[in-house]
Amino acid sequence: MPSVIDLRSDTVTQPSPEMRKAMGAAEVGDDYYHEDPTVKKLEALAAELLGKEAGLFVSSGTMGNLVSLMTHTRRGDAILLEENSHIYHNENGGCATIAGVLARPLKSRHGILDAPTIEAAITGKEVLHPRTSLICIENTHNVAGGTCWTLADMKRVRTVADKYKLPIHVDGARIFNAAVALKVKSAKIVADADSITFCLSKGLACPYGSLICGSEEFIAEARRNRQMVGGGMRQAGVMAAAGIVGLETMIDRLAEDHENARLLASGLAALGFAMEQETVQSNMVYARVPSSFKSSPKDFVEKLRKRNVWVNPPRKDPIRFVTHYGIERDDIKRALEAVKQSLKK
């Protein structure tokens, strides 16, 4: 039976043999006491790569974003974010129910907010309105197609943030995808951010975890908030060891995922799928089933699954395809042939 080509997400990656070996041999201690040497090494490596003073290991990107929001804001404050951002739509309302902040969703083009839109949404001078205390961006932007915030995009937001004395938080779940796609150092791409989270468990192919990076003062307070939401860890070096391998070996490899995504996008377009080619910037392809296919997109996904190509059923119309570690060029060719056959009656 042919192997499954799983294009649902880059979270389905399997840890590399080097990661498994590192996890088994990891030196560990109690992280509550700051005594796990492998966690400390991972946090320092993450901070160095992103040009920040310190890092904090957390269980997930969702926890990382929540802890960052709690650290930047006070209850009753407002935060500004893009209307289809992960923080707003896919973190179960944690910003409201736990952090206690009001999210103001803003319209964008391909997930990239412009400075006038941000500035127009800032409130707080009058007591009738919540105080705007944070600007959040997502890089790469998932729902927009894996699009990248450029250095110029970030600089424009920084100018507004400085004018109103606001911090910027980056949901950088796939920040290294953005850095590789833009061919810039990861530290440079977040130089204008006050804090950033990124995931180890997506393109870097680790089985667990995310990091928050920022100033030493910010991370010290974030550590307190991590404890508040149940994120304290003990011998976490077993998991952190895989993260170190991911940061040392998986970043440059992301270029292969991007190349495979472009190959997939080109093939889907040739088969009649509709998409905005300019959004295919990293490891995602969002495409609509051809109008000649008379059944629903969900039916198409089911037909594709029977041919051992897995994608998630679309919430709306576009179907998301995600390339990642473990998916090779030949897999993309096989997937395209399965797509072609699934379009037939």
Tally of domains in the chain: 2
pLDDT tens by residue, 308-343: 999 999 887 799 999 999 999 999 999 999 999 999
What span, in angstroms and rounded, lies between the C-alpha atoms of 102 and 97?
A: 10
**pLDDT tens-digit profile of 198-241?**
999 999 999 999 999 999 999 999 999 999 999 999 999 999 99
Within this chain, do residues 237 and 261 fall inside the same structural domain, yes or no? Answer: no
Look at residues 249, 273, 294 and tell me which one is the last residue of a structural domain. 249
Q: Are residues 286 and 232 in the same domain?
A: no
Domain hosting residue 59, numbered range: 17-249
Q: How far apart are CA 195 and CA 177, in angstroms?
A: 18
148 and 162 fall within a common domain: yes
Q: Are residues 104 and 171 in the same domain?
A: yes
pLDDT of 126 reads: 84
Instruction: Look up tokens 């400085």; give the residue.
Output: 162
Give the pLDDT band (50/70/90) at residue 290: very high
Strands (E), the chain: 5-6, 54-58, 78-82, 102-106, 132-138, 168-171, 195-199, 210-214, 284-287, 309-310, 319-322
Average pLDDT over all residues of the chain? 96
CB-facing half-sphere around the CA of 25: CA atoms within 13 A: 8
Binning pLDDT at 50, 70 and 90, where does residue 151 land? very high
Domain boundary among 186, 215, 249: 249
12-54 pLDDT, tens digit per residue, is: 999 999 999 999 999 999 999 999 999 999 999 999 999 999 9
Segment 50-73 shows an average pLDDT of 98
321-to-8, 138, 245, 263, 283 alpha-carbon distances in Å: 6, 19, 26, 12, 8
CA distance 209 to 206: 8
Residue 299 sits in a domain whose CATH number is 3.90.1150.10
